[in-house]
Chain A
Amino acid sequence: MTITTGDGTARDAELLRVRNLTVTFPGRRSAPWRRPGKVVAVNGLDLDLAGGETLGLVGESGSGKTTTARAILRLLRPSGGTIEAAGFTVGAFGRRVPLGYRRAVQAVFQDPLGSLDPTKVIGDILAEPLAVHFGLRGTERDRRVAALLEQVGLAGHHLRRYPYELSGGQRQRVSIARALAVEPKLIVLDEPVSALDVSVQSQVVNLLEDVQERTGVAYLFVAHDLAVVRHACDRIAVMYRSRIVEEGPADRICESPAHPYTEALLAAVPDPDPARQRIQRRRRRELGAPAPTGAVPATGCPFASRCPHRMPVCTESFPDWTPVTGGGRVACHLHGGSPTTPEET
Chain B
Amino acid sequence: MTEALATGTAGAVLAPDRSGARITARLLHSKATLFWAAVVLVVVLCAVLAPLIAPSDPLKGDIRDGLLGPSAHHWLGTDKLGRDVLSRVLYGARTALLSAVEAVGIAAVVGIPLGLLSGYLGGWTDRILMRIVEGVMSVPFLVLAIALISVLGPGLWKSMAVVGVVYAMTLVRLVRGEALAAREELYVDGVRVAGAGSGRIVFRHILPNITPPLIVQITLMIAGAIIAEATLSFLGLGAQAGDASWGSMLSDAQASIRESFFLALPPGFAILLTVLAFNQVGDGIRDLFAREAKAGSMGVNPVLKAAGQGEAPPAGVFVDDPVLSVRDLTVSFPQPGAGRVAVVQGMSLDVGRGEIVGLVGESGSGKSVTAMSLLGLVPDPGRVRAASIRLDGRDLAGLSFDELRKVRGGEIGVVFQEPIASLNPAYTVGDQVAEVLREHAGLSRAQARERVVSLFGQVHIPDPAARLGDYPHQFSGGMAQRVMIAMALASGPRLLVADEPTTALDVTVQGQVLDLLLELREQTGMSILVITHDLGVVADVADRVAVMYAGQLVECGPTEEVFRRPSHPYTEGLLTSLPRNVRRAGRLPSIPGVVPPPSAWAEGCRFAPRCAHARPECSAGPIELAAGGRDRAARCVRSHDLTLTGVRALAGEPSAAPLASVRIEKKP
Contact = CB atoms under 8 A, between A and B. Distances in A.
B307 to A, nearest CB: 36
A303 B458 CA distance: 26
Contact of B363 (A167, A257, A276, A344): A167
A227 interface: yes
Nearest to A227: B579
Contact of B594 (A61, A103, A170, A254): A170
Nearest to B210: A119
B540 A165 contact: no
A14 interface: no
Interface string B3-24: 0000000000000011100000
B509 A61 contact: yes
Interface in B479-519: 505-512, 514-515
Interface string A261-298: 01111111111111111111111110010110100000
A79 B592 CA distance: 45
Interface stretch (B183-191, B380-388, B444-452): B183-191
A92 interface: no
Contacts of A102: 193-195
B616 interface: no
Interface stretch (A143-151, A192-200, A214-222): A192-200
Most B CB contacts (10 A, CB to CB) among A106, A132, A265 go to A132
Interface stretch (A32-40, A81-89, A330-338): A330-338
Interface string B431-474: 00000000000000000000000000000101000000000000
Contacts of A271: 536, 539, 580-581, 647
B650 A118 contact: no
A306 B213 CA distance: 48
A88 B477 CA distance: 38
A340 B663 contact: yes
Contacts of B187: 114-118
Q: How large is the interface on B (under 10, 10 to 19, 20 to 34, 35 or more residues)?
A: 35 or more
B72 interface: no
A264 to B, nearest CB: 7
A225 B507 contact: yes
Nearest to B207: A119
A185 interface: no
A115 B185 CA distance: 8
B662 A258 contact: yes
Interface in B562-614: 563-564, 573-575, 577-581, 583-584, 587-592, 594-595
Contact of A117 (B190, B460, B587, B647): B190
A328 interface: no
A162 B580 contact: no
Contact of B195 (A103, A267, A268): A103
Contact of A263 (B538, B539, B660): B660
Contacts of A345: 663-666
B650 A275 contact: yes
Contacts of B574: 198-199
A224 B506 contact: yes
Interface stretch (B233-241, B261-269, B311-319, B651-659): B651-659
Nearest to B542: A274
Contacts of B662: 256-260, 262-263, 309, 334
Most A CB contacts (10 A, CB to CB) among B193, B208, B462, B647 go to B193
A274 B538 CA distance: 9
A286 B54 CA distance: 88
Contacts of A291: 476, 508-509
Interface in A40-83: 60-62, 70, 73, 75
Contacts of A342: 663
Given A167-B594, A257-B660, A335-B665, A205 B533 contact: no
A302 interface: no
Contacts of B476: 61-62, 291, 293
A342 B663 CA distance: 7
Nearest to B575: A272
Interface string B549-561: 0000000000110
A9 interface: no
A231 interface: yes
B659 A266 contact: yes
Nearest to A128: B194
B155 interface: no
Nearest to B187: A117
Contacts of A288: 508, 511-512, 515
A162 B19 contact: yes
A273 B645 CA distance: 12
A309 B663 CA distance: 12
B534 interface: yes
B509 to A, nearest CB: 7
A164 interface: yes
Contact of A344 (B17, B197, B659, B664): B664
Interface in A123-141: 128-129, 132-133
Contacts of A225: 507, 579
A202 B197 contact: no
A159 interface: no
A167 B364 contact: yes
Interface string B392-418: 000000000000000000000000000
Contact of A75 (B193, B208, B515, B534): B193
A300 interface: no
B650 to A, nearest CB: 6
For the complex of A and B, 10 pairs with smallest distance between CB atoms: A270-B536, A202-B590, A202-B588, A102-B195, A273-B647, A114-B186, A336-B667, A119-B208, A199-B591, A268-B507
20 contacts: A62-B476, A114-B185, A117-B205, A132-B194, A167-B364, A181-B194, A200-B594, A206-B590, A255-B583, A258-B662, A263-B661, A268-B511, A269-B536, A270-B540, A271-B539, A273-B564, A274-B560, A281-B540, A291-B508, A343-B663
Given A119-B209, A272-B563, A335-B667, 19 more contacts: A60-B508, A61-B476, A61-B477, A109-B190, A115-B189, A117-B187, A164-B18, A167-B364, A178-B190, A198-B535, A201-B577, A205-B588, A273-B563, A276-B654, A278-B654, A283-B658, A334-B666, A340-B665, A345-B666
